[in-house]
């Protein structure tokens, strides 16, 4: 049984992570619409914050996956969760500072694994559950890449006789819709991960007998993510919105439509995915369909490299902080 004060501390750290996730990953949903001027930065932030909030309230399947599949209840201690969240927060801030589109989801999962290893050892991580979640995180970007290329190819074929000016005018308006879709999908998946962490602690501490995401947890996580979204993440927007390839409205619509479909479908299935990975993969797929040589693959390689270093990096930071916190208390 944990003290209420410890649970409050965990909740504060969890909501801080959710807030940072909001401004770190907001760029994923609105980068293309801002870069093509379909939305002004101010309006894009309002759209993203509102739809992130609504998406966060849309379900709890992902929360259950995060809360049950990596760490067993007896491994859930305040120190483990705090160290895990610090590891994830550190990596998110580090990559945000340098404008690297890394995954908050990978950072959180890496932090959990590192903290459990530090506290209990390798054998107490639920590696079967971790493997399933990790497989989903790896497979969905591939789906985003292929689907993005396919959607873009279909759009090129459908509008092959139209003038570029007409196409850009139509799809600049449609990008507002796709930005809403991407923001809603982001909230439906990412905010639920923090809901799962908080609910995990409430179950582990004896405050809940079964894994059930309470209404106040949903509202708190949705609000924290929406507040973080309102801050924005312009460094990452510059990477996602223009450095991979020169995006036009039809490309932005194709990427956002593809990514939102993949992400929300995953949310309905309870599969935690990386919004960053799916969106950036969809952009690469769209760019490759437009012109393979037009994609700046050196930037793409940097993004892919960040995918693979995030989990071990966040795990290492969480492990260090677990040891430090254990010494202090």
DSSP-assigned states of every residue in 140-163:
HHHHHHHHHHHHHHHHHHHTTTS-
Q: What is the pTM of this model?
A: 0.86
Q: Which residue has the higher pLDDT, 219 or 48?
A: 219
List all residues 6 or more positions away from 127 whose beta carbon is below 8 Å from its beta carbon.
Answer: none
Q: Which residue has the higher pLDDT, 26 or 46?
A: 46
Q: Is the predicted pLDDT of residue 230 greater than 80, yes or no?
A: no
Identify the band that residue 47 occupies on the pLDDT scale cut at 50, 70 and 90: confident
Range of the domain at 163: 4-328
Q: Are 289 and 156 in contact (CB under 8 A)?
A: yes
List all residues 6 or more positions away from 121 whose beta carbon is below 8 Å from its beta carbon.
Answer: none
Nearest to 57 by CA among 218, 184, 264: 218
Q: Is the predicted pLDDT of residue 245 greater than 60, yes or no?
A: no
Q: What is the pLDDT of residues 190-202, one digit of tens each?
A: 888 899 999 988 9
Q: Are 296 and 244 in contact (CB under 8 A)?
A: yes
**Mean pLDDT, to the nearest integer, of 161-168?**
85
Q: What is the pLDDT of residues 62-119, one digit of tens each?
A: 988 888 888 776 677 888 999 999 999 999 888 878 777 677 888 999 999 999 999 9
Q: Rounded to whole angstroms, what are the CA distances from 268 to 55, 58, 65, 221, 265?
A: 11, 9, 12, 18, 5
| Total structural domains within the chain | 1
Summary mean pLDDT of the chain: 85
Q: What pLDDT, on a 0 to 100 scale, did the predictor assign at position 223?
A: 92
Q: What is the pLDDT of residues 205-225, one digit of tens each?
A: 888 888 889 999 999 999 998
Q: Are 68 and 236 in contact (CB under 8 A)?
A: no
Identify the band that residue 35 occupies on the pLDDT scale cut at 50, 70 and 90: confident
Question: Which sign, positive or negative, has the C-alpha torsion 185, 190, 192, 195?
Answer: negative
Identify the band that residue 1 occupies on the pLDDT scale cut at 50, 70 and 90: low
Identify the band that residue 165 occupies on the pLDDT scale cut at 50, 70 and 90: confident
List all residues 6 or more positions away from 37 whose beta carbon is below 8 Å from its beta carbon.
Answer: 172
Q: What pLDDT, on a 0 to 100 scale, did the predictor assign at position 295?
A: 65
**Mean pLDDT, to the nearest integer, of 25-51?**
80
Q: Are 104 and 24 in contact (CB under 8 A)?
A: yes
**Mean pLDDT, to the nearest integer, of 149-165?**
90
Q: Which residue has the tokens 């012109």?
A: 291
Tell me how far apart the alpha carbons of residues 149 and 130 are, in angstroms, rounded to a whole number.
29
**Mean pLDDT, to the nearest integer, of 31-38?**
81
User: If 0-12 CB within 10 Å is exposed, 13-18 middle and 19+ buried, where does residue 102 land?
Assistant: buried
List all residues 6 or more positions away from 231 whose beta carbon is below 8 Å from its beta carbon.
Answer: 22, 23, 26
CA atoms within 13 A on the CB side of 75: 24
Percent of the chain with pLDDT over 90: 33
Phi, psi of 76 (to 5 degrees): -85, 100
């Amino acid at each position: 049984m944990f003290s209420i004060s410890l649970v409050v501390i965990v909740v504060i750290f969890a909501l801080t992570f959710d807030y940072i996730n909001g401004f770190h990953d907001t760029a994923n949903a609105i980068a293309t619409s801002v870069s093509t001027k379909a939305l002004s930065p101010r309006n894009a932030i309002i759209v993203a914050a509102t739809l992130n909030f609504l998406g966060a309230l849309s379900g709890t399947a992902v929360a259950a996956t995060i809360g049950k599949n990596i760490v067993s209840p007896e491994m859930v201690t305040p120190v483990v969760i705090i160290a895990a969240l610090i590891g994830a927060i550190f990596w998110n801030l580090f990559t945000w500072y340098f404008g690297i589109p890394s995954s908050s989801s990978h950072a959180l999962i890496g932090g959990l694994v590192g903290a459990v290893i530090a506290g209990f050892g390798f054998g107490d991580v639920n590696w079967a559950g971790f493997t399933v979640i990790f497989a989903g995180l790896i497979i969905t970007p591939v789906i985003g890449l292929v689907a993005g290329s396919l959607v873009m190819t279909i759009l090129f074929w459908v509008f092959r006789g139209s003038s570029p000016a007409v196409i850009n005018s139509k799809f600049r308006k449609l990008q507002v819709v796709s930005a809403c879709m991407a923001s809603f999908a982001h909230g439906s998946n990412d905010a639920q991960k923090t809901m799962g962490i908080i609910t995990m602690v409430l179950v582990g501490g004896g405050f809940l007998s079964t894994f059930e995401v309470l209404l106040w947890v949903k509202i708190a996580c949705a609000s924290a993510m929406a507040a973080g979204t309102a801050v924005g993440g312009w460094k990452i927007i510059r990477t996602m919105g223009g450095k991979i390839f020169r995006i036009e409205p039809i490309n932005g619509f194709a990427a956002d439509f593809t990514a939102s479909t993949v992400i929300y479908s995953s949310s309905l299935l309870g599969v935690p995915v990386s919004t960053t990975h799916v969106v950036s993969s969809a952009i690469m797929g769209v760019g490759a369909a437009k012109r393979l040589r037009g994609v700046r693959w050196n930037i793409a390689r940097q993004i892919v490299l960040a995918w693979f270093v995030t989990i071990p990096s966040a795990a290492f930071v969480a492990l260090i902080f677990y040891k430090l916190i254990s010494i202090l208390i």
